[in-house]
Amino acid sequence: MKKHQSDINPRFVEYFQENFFANKPEELDRFLEALTKPLPKTIRVNTTRINVEDFKARAERNNWILTPTNNPTVFRIDRTEIKMPLGHTLEHLLGYFYMQELSASMSVHYLTDGKINNTPYLILDMAASPGGKTTQLSEHYPNSIIVANEPTRDRMAQLVSNTERLRNDRIMITNYDGGFYSNLPETFDRILIDAPCSGEGIGFKESQTVKYWNLKNIHKIARLQIKLLDAAFRALKTGGEVLYSTCTLNKIENEWVINEIQSRYPESFEVLFEKRFWPHEEASGGFFVCKIRKNATVKEVENKVPRAIKTNKELIPLTKDHERILSKFIEIVGLDLSNYYLYEFKRDILAIQKNSTAKALLQNIFPIRLGQKIGRIEEGVFTPDNRIGRDFRLTKTPVYEIMSEQELDDYLRGKEIGENIQEEYSVLQYKGLNVGFESKNPKTEKFTNTFPREWQRK
């Protein structure tokens, strides 16, 4: 149902009139009208899996119309025929793109100056769910370890699912309130803090935001934002950079938060860049970004009581027995894990790319999820994970070509496919895309179906 300007709280209108649009009634009206209109659908190409030109070619074969934006990996998408929801397309299920609003993609774009940086950094995404910005960081920092922290437990499943779909072999997922990271001073080279906020910039889809807007709530949120940015600045290495962003537009949650932290650390805190995205000007959601450099170390807080940092005792290096079990499978399928550290967590075998800081960091944080899941070992038997057929090169494993859209659809809906299968293991492929890894079901002589349930077509 279309929203109207009458749904917007008069106090909201008064605030923005006084602070941004004094003597600009026509522009104020355009801003308020923009908050009632849905945005064009945009997607971000996941360059971890496919380059932009190859994705464009695949989109053209699908009759998708891609229109460029001011972020080179983000496109407006229009489809000439809609056979199924965009989220059920094979390219989405396999993580070749992420549905993301243009403004939301700009935080990482400005943190990285739109460039790929191959330096092996340690990076913190302080409020990571649903995972769009975390995976975008992985694309721009291909040799870095990304710590994706989500303070809200209920949002963890979505973060895990999205990072696994888009590939997460350099990601550690944690579940702390953001203030925890002040316990790790001078640790991270880059930090992204897309702060919890009032959400004024997405009033087009969250009408309650502007309908029940009030300054008391804004100031309450700003106090949390100050706490988070202070913790981020302390956790940042000297010479490092932090990108603070919100999907809101008022000054209290933006400039005032920045000014408060700058007043605490005037000799250390340097603002490099600041921009507010207005929905009526940018044809995107409302957004604010501020890029900050730390120029000097800051003093520890006096009389601060150190917080106990629990470590994950269930996360252990792979045991010798399990190394032998896994090595047999590795030899059969031709899987090279020499560039990965291997860990066990509740019988899951996890692989994370080797990085000089990765092991040391595990002494200080408790990851809920670490890197890429390879499979499970239970009662001396290794069961491989479906995603290794998509995420790793298996040099000794035969390929089974899915021959039709109907067979693909059956597989993506959880059905067994194939007839009289002879090979023990196969990589399933469709039109050049690796879909997954399956074993033979000896009872039916078809492929077992282990395609992740949360990604299946319904």
Catalytic residues, by residue number, are 247
Cβ(226)–Cβ(182) under 8 Å? no
- Sign, Cα dihedral of 197, 200, 201, 205: positive
| Of the candidates 143, 105, 147, the residue with the CA atom closest to the CA atom of residue 124 | 147
Helix (H) or strand (E) holding 410: helix 405-412
DSSP state of 420: S
* Cβ-Cβ contacts under 8 Å for 209 (sequence gap 6 or more): 198, 199, 200, 202, 203
Could you write out the DSSP letters of every residue in 171-234?
Answer: EEEE---GGGGGGSTT-EEEEEEE-----GGGTTT-HHHHHS--HHHHHHHHHHHHHHHHHHHH
Tokens matching residue 97:
């793109």
Angle (CA) 244-248-251 rounded to 5° is 80
Count of helices and strands (H, E) across the chain: 15, 21
DSSP H helical ranges for 20-101: 25-34, 52-61, 90-93
